[in-house]
Structure 1
Amino acid sequence: MGTLPEPFAGWFAGRGWAPRPHQLALLQAARRGESALLVAPTGGGKTLAGFLPSLTDLHAAPRDGLHTLYVSPLKALAVDIARNLTAPVEEMGLPIAIETRTGDTPANRRARQRAAPPNLLLTTPESLALLLTLPDAPTLFGGLGAVVVDEIHALAGTKRGDQLALGLARLGTLAPKARRVGLSATVAHPDALRAFLSPTARPDDVRLVIGAGGAEPMLDMLLPEGRLPWGGHMGLASMPEVYRRIREAKVTIVFVNTRAQAELCFQALWRLNDDNLPIGLHHGSLTVEQRRKVEAAMAAGRLRAVVATASLDLGIDWGAVDQVVQVGAPKGVSRLLQRIGRANHRLDEPSRAVLVPANRFEVIECTAARQAVAAQELDGDPPRPGGLDVLCQHILACAVAGPFLPDDLYAEVTRAQPYAALTRRDFDDALRFVEDGGYALSSYDRFRRLFRDADGRIHVRSNAVARQLRMNLGTIVETPLLKVRLRGGPVLGEVEEWFISTLTPGDCFIFAGQLLRFEGLDAMSAIVSRGGEGEPRVPAYAGSRMPLTTWLAARVRAILHDPKAWKALPAPVQEWLRLQRHASQMPPKDGLLVETFPRGGKWFLVAYCFEGRLAHQTLGMLVTKRMERLGMGPLGYLATDYVLAAWCAFEPTGVERLFEEDILGEELEEWMAESSMLRRSFRNIATIAGLIEKNHPGQEKSGRQMTMNADLIYDVLRRHEPDHILLRATRQEAASGLTDVARISLLLARARAGGIVHRALPRVSPLAVPALIEEGREWVAGGAEDALLAEAAAMVEEVTGGAELFTEVLAEVTEAIPARGDRDRVRRPRRGDGKDGRARDGRYNRFIRSAPKGLTTPR
């Protein structure tokens, strides 16, 4: 095991610390020139372990230029690490320059970094890709000694990870002696991540270092006082209890799963904030300035709580945080452990976390998650093959950096783990597309971006092509966004274009923790003012819902199947499950339970699949298509993380035929050919690959323009070149990501092996009630509300025969009626809301006025 030289040993000793074994192990590996993957619990000093060899190298042999490149999945994490690393460097008096480079870095600083690179540069995959396109990239990275990839599990297996892997392969060419270090607290597939780091895509090239475990986390579950909701996923009923927990703790991070949920929970907490506690809001649609102010305030100890999405999931080290609250089911064990680790960021002290399920199914999921954490089980899928669209972008980026030979670039690309199995045909087709658009598009001059010289070298055709590439570089393709700008004031953030299109002047909505009135559109901005009347809406964001992981879903099925496991559940949930067993039966652990029953002149089918919302959405499309073929008259369907519910005009018979494995054959092909989903997927792939350019000098295309262009090209390619590389990429992505076909296949195979149990019931079962309540949220409107209220109350009375549950669900459906999916309507607190209504309304108005100052907290 390695030892620490001075002044590092003295710095540790001066704080009463001793270096941890995994920190010394990384130091030893670096001295041998070995790459390493460090898996250590949160609070174990992973980041310092990753940088320690670089700091000791630079102390022993000071030099100018870039020595270590640090890559983070989050801008906020890079900034936080730079801040935390600067302190010990200054305390030891080390002449080491540390800087960040992200999309938020000012142009003058970026120019200075090229002219005089810092010793340690902290960046993101996107900024690294941009740096590699520069003509002076060989000079900038030629002396690189190390690359540190933080939170590597969050990147591998994603398109951002594909981009990073290709960047690492390029760095392997520019700086072949640079060692690589990966850092993570939650690794389900260590060999796959070792291969991701490896310069040859072989795991044996990378040493695996396992850090000793820390104190077991203290993980509680918090239920609302009074009734436990049957449906919904916002968790607002528990906000009084969450507020009490915030008040009792020092500093709390309240994690939620969507940005809409963040806005709603923040507003609910504010309405309860009689103590004027400073509470912040943090999510990816807020402006950089607002996020930075919240981060700085948390680091300085000026906030008691912050409501956040995944924007604060990874690595942020705020030592004062002593409690994490997870509102809504976590959807994955690894994700939950990452969030738990934000509390008590010390290895020898337990992290305190509270799970706040939003409904009864989520209670079971939270129970399963607690059991998985106790068993130290991690979940997550192994990295998938790299995307062909990312490869196309990388080929163009390499040409922008300088001429290359196709054979050399193919050899380099296949040294990246996601592309280790890339065929030469796919590479050549990708190169041909980047060169001239491919057979169907080659006659259009706008798609001619590369040319070959007499020696076969590939060159970029013009400076304009290079400029366009740099302006559109990256793999994050979001739904078109519009800035939200206060009239005569600053930009507050961005919301999706479709949401603004549903507003008329005078409508109000909640955003950035504020009540805003929509005034109109101005170019690419939505102009708003503070305040407003009526019930405000909350923007939802496409793709923001997290999928339930396979491993956690299996634990949920196991709990439902085993009555002995129900003892771990709250009494209302136990009673709910006992009612289900009496009225129907429990879903099997390995098979599939399908219930059918009449209700309101329609026939309902509920399948208890437990494979996540995405898989259920695709399965619902396929099942209703087969229902149509079988003459059942499908009318619609709804997918939750737990069940698939469909309704039709005629009684479903031969239910087993709806879940045969051949449904992934003809029905899937037919549906994918007709579905608009493939068009949306093609648009994203075409944007990443460079066929469609979102950003242009001095202008930006609207979402409608981009969609129109993508649809036209999609139709041309399908007609004239159906095997085009981008169509292949679209089908690949649809099968692996957009439709979750793999999980559907596993579900159907499990159903075949374990058996499909069909229960034809005279009325709805207790487990089906949440799905029908959710179904009402989607299609009920106008005069149908009273009918839904009476129907839902009556159906629960039929199931339970008890007045208590009848009254409970009656109240729940009354609350559910105004809601529309994620866009739950909330009302502004009015004067007279309880005995403190007037004071609460006054504080709310003060909050509205003070929010633009930065911290969405009272002055």
Structure 2
Amino acid sequence: MKHQKIIVEAENWFKQHGWKPFPFQKETWNAWLNGKHGLLNAPTGSGKTFALWVPIALSLKHYPGKTRSENTGVKAIWITPLRALSLEIAQATREFAQGLELDIEVGIRTGDTSQKERAAQRRKMPDLLITTPESLHLLLSSKNYEKQFRNCRAIVADEWHELLGSKRGVQTELALSRLKTLCKDLRIWGISATIGNLEQAREVLLGPGSTALENSVMIKAELRKKIKVSSIIPEAMEKFPWRGHLGIHLLDEVIPILKASRSTLLFTNTRAQCEIWFQAILSKYPEFAGEIAMHHGSINKETRLWVEQAIRNDSLKAVVCTSSLDLGVDFAPVETIIQIGGPKGVARFLQRAGRSGHQPGKESKIWFLPTHAIELIEASALKKAVKEKAVEDRTPYLLCFDVLIQYLTTLAVSDGFYPEEIYREIRSTFCYQGITEEEWQWVLNFITMGSQSLREYDEYRKVEVMEDGLFKVNNRGVAMRHRLSIGTIVSDAMLTVKYMKGGYLGQIEEWFISKLQPGDVFTFAGRNLELFRIKQMQVLVKRSKKKTAKVPSWMGGRMSFSSQMSDLLRSELYLANDPGSQLSPELKALAPVFERQQRESIVPGPGEFLIETFKTREGYHAIFYPFEGRFVHEAMASLLAYRISLLDPISFSIAFNDYGFELLSDQVINIEQVIDNDLFSPSYLHSDLEKSLNATEMARRKFRDIGVISGLVFQGYPDKQLKSKHLQSSSQLFFNVFRDFEQDNLLYLQAFRETFEHSLEEGRLAQALERIRTQEVIWKNCEKPTPFSFPIITDRLREKLSSEKLSDRIRKMQIQFEK
């Protein structure tokens, strides 16, 4: 009866605002009131916040605790991955609570919460708490946290698809495992945008085989969100396309779209591209001054918040942004989205499209602007994906011992824990369902004694075992340092490039340099440099006369196709070969490129794998086209180069993009040998990858994050952060000790596992090699570069030439090859 009363009250509140609840909102209200757990699958801007906060808040009014102690502490927790979202959610909740005259307090606890506010929360917790995974763990590290949480009835994990494939998702799993034990009548819900593995997402949230999972529902908001995708198709199609101009050549086509729209977001994939576009619009169209702004992760917080507010107020015509606005803020007025360059994944494209018409029932408009002609194939594939709702899976992490060690120390810092009880809880999570007794014992030994090779050092004995078997941190210094280190986000380090004889050249990201071995040559600041050695955070180099070199790129530009995107792209490309197929406007526009490609080589069909070779003044080129995305191509190129070098002592320069990769050498590459010796075989993949990519150095870099998360390495106090080089040298020292004296150390082994599973996508690489084995290899020995190869070979020139010289050089190349 009370259930019905709550639903009527909620419907009346909606009516007062001139709204009508969606069927999925009412379905969620009923499910929650009937004691169900669940996962709500709803697009951005569909009213998902009210789907869950409404029944939670109203049930506090209708089902209050019987005694005073039952009414203390937090009643519901809303976990969000982004601080920016917490303000929006709090605002909407307060508005709703006031409208229904509910006597409930809404509070926020994130890294931005002031000391004054935190102190007030320690004295009295708000009824509804909006927080992040890190801040929730911080609360678990405070004394008497059980009192604060024991009356909690609901936990909502918002944007669960964002947390799922990350260590922050693992943190959330661990916090939920603890709160399930503490809170008697706890209901757990997740909210997720569409992902490929929704069922698995629910299992990770609620715990495999749990009673919560058995008593759960999956609710899908069947809202037919209209998404209109249009491509900006260049009038004159370059037969030899390249991505060097980042789409700026289509600037004049963008301005009418900006003028016709009340407000527009222009999404770029990298911060550099964001800056370039912003400057280009202002220099060519100064009338936009004051009406256009920029938003990306390196811009300070005050400016970002100002931009977000300006979008809400409708006072900006356009914002050029990166993924910093992918989730972020809930604002209604944005009318149009322009995606500059391929977004590399369907989910990201849909997320960005959803920023326009960000209200139930409104149509989303998104324009795709190709940075080079071949990206129009991507545009065509994305149109289909939007229609068919083909979206990616998010792969959950398994056995993250670094996060587990941090979590156990958190519990030991607060009130302590008994291993038998916590082991049961940890085994109930998805991430640690496979943990063995031996591994568990190793982790307990690690926090109490340090690992096998660290036993002699008192500082690694952080947790003490009390007489009754309670594991507890009694040292105030250890507790303080631990609280400052809670979290799993570790930033990527920049290394300084210096000549051995002195002379500073600049900074380079460590993920790139970690894959090189001493003696390898790479291009940087317009010079070919030979790596001498990496010493702490310095890359020591000397000039090299070698013509072949590896080209660095930065993490931001390192977005790669998802596997779904690769499949879509290949099937779209195969249509170009099928005379009977209905071609999209994008593929029709590419007709001159395909014709030229057919003349010089072929456009591969479904059962074909294309290899092209040709000679230029740079040397002998071999181009391979798996169409699998940058990550897979980078690993495959190194693997193939290593395998060829076993047959023939030959050195290569490697270049790659999302469509294929190039091996360049100063001697002829024997392709027949590649085909005859089955060099694309998935056999011995793991050991060959280890040798070809210097996996130990990559794992050593990966270990830096693991060392910080597990508390082996302390990052420093807020006002005195440890320098990156000290951080790196400390973690390297541990890595080397474990390598030499304790190779079964779980953190050491985790560094290698994460390198292969996450950095190199070994699983996808193996699948790609299996597919290539079933295809007919077609080798075309061409007279000159083909349209497909042109974007790959011009990419390598980018590091050697300034942008003006590069444009001139490529223009000359285009004229020469088009003859």
The alignment's TM-score, normalised by the length of structure 1, stands at 0.82
2:111 alignment partner AA: G
Q: CA deviation at 1:369?
A: 0.8
In 2, Cα distance between equivalents of 1:33 and 1:791: 65
Instruction: Give, as a single letter, the amino acid of the residue that structure 1 aligns with 2:481.
Output: Q
Q: Distance in 2 between matches of 1:606 and 1:110?
A: 58
Q: Which residue of 2 aligns with 1:750?
A: 771
Which segments of 5 or more consecutive residues in structure 1 lack a partner in the other structure? 483-495, 501-538, 802-859
Equivalent position SS for 2:743: coil
1:385-433, CA deviations, whole angstroms, 9 ceiling, x for partnerless residues?
2422212211211211222222222211122222222223333223322
**Cα RMSD, aligned residues only:** 2.8
Structure 1's 630 and 648: CA in aligned 2 closer, same or farther, altered over 3 A? farther
CA drift of 1:10 comes to 2.2
Q: Deviations over 1:279-337 (max 9, x none)?
A: 23222222222222222222233222222222221263211111122111121111111
Q: Counterpart of 2:616? A: 599
Work out the CA distance in 2 between the residues paired with 1:286 and 1:201: 45
Structure 1 residues 565 and 132, CA gap change in structure 2 (3 angstroms) = farther
For 2:280, give the aligned amino acid: A
- The aligned residue for residue 364 of structure 2 is 351
Question: What SS does the aligned partner of 1:728 have?
Answer: helix
Identify which range, 307-316 or 190-199, moves more after superposition.
307-316
Deviation at 1:540, TM superposition (A): 8.6
- For residue 246 of structure 2, what is the amino acid of its counterpart? M
Task: Show the counterpart of 1:30.
Answer: 32
Cα shift at 1:438: 0.7
Tell me which residue corresponds to 2:522: none
Is 2:312 the counterpart of 1:299?
yes
* Partner residue, 2:338: 325
Instruction: State how far apart, in whole Å, the 2-side matches of 1:137 and 1:552 are.
Output: 45
Q: 1:51 aligns with which of 38, 50, 53?
A: 53
Does structure 2 conserve the Cα–Cα contact (< 8 Å) formed by 1:39 and 1:209? yes
Matched, 1:652 2:652: no
1:819 is matched with none
Paired residue secondary structure (1:44): coil
Q: How does 1:66-105 map to 2 (within 5 A)?
A: 66-105=74-113
**Partner residue of 1:855?**
none
Q: Which residue of 2 aligns with 1:212?
A: 222
**How far apart are 1:543 and its partner, in Å?**
5.2
Alpha-carbon offset, residue 601 of structure 1: 5.1
The alignment status of 1:238 with 2:250, answered yes or no, reads yes
Q: How far apart are the structure 1 equivalents of 2:362 and 2:640?
A: 50
Structure 1 range deviating more: 668-677 or 80-89: 668-677
For residues 438 and 293 of structure 1, the distance between their equivalents in structure 2, rounded to whole angstroms, comes to 48
1:548 to partner: Cα distance? 0.7
Matched residue, 1:161? 169
Q: Which moved more, 1:165-174 or 1:418-427?
A: 418-427
Q: Partners in 2 of 1:571 and 1:591 — Cα distance?
A: 22
Question: In the TM superposition, what is the alpha-carbon distance from 1:209 to its structure 2 partner?
Answer: 0.8
Instruction: Indicate the larger mover: 150-159 or 591-600.
Output: 591-600
Tell me if 1:702 matches 2:715: no
Separation of aligned partners in 1, 2:273 and 2:791: 19
- Taking only the aligned residue pairs, the percentage that are identical comes to 30
Segment of structure 1 superposing worse, 49-58 or 789-798 = 789-798
Aligned CA distance change for structure 1 residues 789 and 238 (closer, same or farther; 3 Å): closer
Deviation at 1:171, TM superposition (A): 1.4
Distance 1:672 1:441, change over 3 A: farther
**Secondary structure at 1:582 match in 2:** helix
**CA distances 1:544-594 after superposition (whole Å, capped 9, x unpaired):** 632211111111111222223654325552211221122111234355322
Give the 5 Å matches for 1:398-477: 398-477=411-490
Aligned residues: 748
What does 1:683-722 align with in structure 2 at a 5 Å threshold?
A: 683-696=704-717, 698-722=719-743
Matched, 1:171 2:179: yes
Counterpart position of 1:829: none
CA contact (8 A) 2:695 2:755 kept: no
Provide closer, same or farther for how the CA distance between residues 187 and 283 of structure 1 changes in structure 2, counting only shifts above 3 A: same
Task: Determine if contact 1:74/1:311 at 8 Å carries over to the other structure.
Answer: no
Distance of aligned partners of 1:265 and 1:95 in 2 relative to their CA distance in 1, 3 Å threshold: farther
Deviation of the 1:599 alpha carbon: 1.8
Q: Secondary structure at the match of 1:767?
A: coil
Question: Given the superposition, is the C-alpha separation of residues 623 and 481 from structure 1 closer, same or farther in structure 2, using an over 3 Å criterion?
Answer: closer
CA spacing shift, 1:541–1:597, aligned 2, 3 Å: closer
Q: AA paired with 2:50?
A: L
In the TM superposition, residue 72 of structure 1 has moved relative to its aligned partner by: 0.9
Q: Secondary structure at the match of 1:265?
A: helix
Pair 1:266 & 2:278 matched? yes
Counterpart code for 2:187:
R
Quick one: which of 747, 752, 755 aligns to 1:726? 747
Judging changes above 3 Å, is the alpha-carbon distance between structure 1 residues 713 and 671 closer, same or farther for their aligned structure 2 residues? Answer: farther
Q: Distance between the aligned counterparts of 2:810 and 2:323, measured in 1?
A: 38
| Aligned residue in 2 for 1:361 | 374
Deviation at 1:459, TM superposition (A): 1.7
Range with bigger deviation, 641-650 or 447-456 = 447-456
Per the alignment, in what secondary structure is the counterpart of residue 596 of structure 1? strand
> Shift in Å at residue 200 of structure 1?
5.2
**Partner residue in 2 for 1:548:** 561
The aligned amino acid for 2:181 is: T
Q: For residues 82-135 of structure 1, give each alpha carbon's deviation from its aligned partner in whole angstroms, at most 9, with x where no partner exists.
A: 223322332333222222211111111112122121121111111111111111
Aligned to 1:286: 299
Within the alignment, does 1:569 sit opposite 2:586 as a pair? yes
In structure 1, the residue corresponding to 2:691 is in which secondary structure?
helix
Going from structure 1 to structure 2, the CA distance change for 1:794 and 1:279 (only over 3 Å counts) comes to closer
Q: Which residue in 2 is equivalent to 1:856?
A: none
The answer to whether the Cα contact below 8 Å between 1:165 and 1:196 also exists between their aligned partners in 2 is: yes
Q: Give 1:442's aligned amino acid.
A: R
Contact 1:99–1:121 (CA under 8 A) maintained in structure 2: yes
Distance, in Å, in 2 between the alignment partners of 1:181 and 1:25 is 13
Asked if 1:309 corresponds to 2:322, the answer is: yes
Question: Structure 2 vs 1, CA of residues 663 and 785 (structure 1 numbering), >3 Å: closer, same or farther?
Answer: farther
SS in 2 for 1:285: coil
2:383 is the alignment partner of 1:373: no
Q: Is the 1:66–1:117 Cα contact (8 Å) retained in structure 2?
A: yes
Deviations 1:154-202 (A, max 9, x none): 1112111111111111211222421011112313212111112215555
Q: Note if contact 1:672-1:678 (Cα within 8 Å) is conserved in structure 2.
A: no
Q: 1:225 to 1:705 in 2, by over 3 A?
A: farther
Distance 2:104 2:608 in 1: 60
Match of 1:151 among 139, 159, 169: 159
- Secondary structure of 1:280's counterpart equals strand
**Gap change, CA 1:399 and 1:335, over 3 Å in 2:** same
Q: Cα distance 1:781–1:340, how it changes in 2: closer, same or farther (>3 A)?
A: closer
Equivalent AA in structure 1 for residue 642 of structure 2? K
Gaps of 5+ in 2: 65-70, 496-505, 511-551
Q: Is the 8 A contact 2:84 2:328 kept in 1?
A: no
* 2: CA distance, partners of 1:279 / 1:313: 18
Paired with 2:553 and 2:667, the residues of 1 have a C-alpha distance of 35
Secondary structure, counterpart of 1:349 in structure 2: coil
Question: Following the alignment from structure 1 to structure 2, what is the Cα–Cα distance between the partners of residues 541 and 72?
Answer: 28
The 8 Å contact of residues 447 and 463 in structure 2, kept in 1 or not, is answered as yes
Distance 1:224 1:555 in 2: 23
Code of the residue aligned with 1:81 in structure 2: it is I
Task: Confirm whether residue 776 of structure 1 aligns to residue 797 of structure 2.
Answer: yes
3-state secondary structure, aligned to 1:417: coil
Please tell me whether the aligned partners of residues 559 and 565 of structure 1 are also in contact (alpha carbons under 8 angstroms).
no
Is 159-168 or 81-90 further displaced after alignment? 81-90
**Equivalent residues of 1:222, 1:355 under 8 A apart:** yes
Give the alignment's TM-score, normalised by structure 2: 0.86
Amino acid aligned to 2:426: V
Q: What is the one-letter code of the residue matched to 2:683?
A: D
Cα displacement (A) at 1:208: 0.6
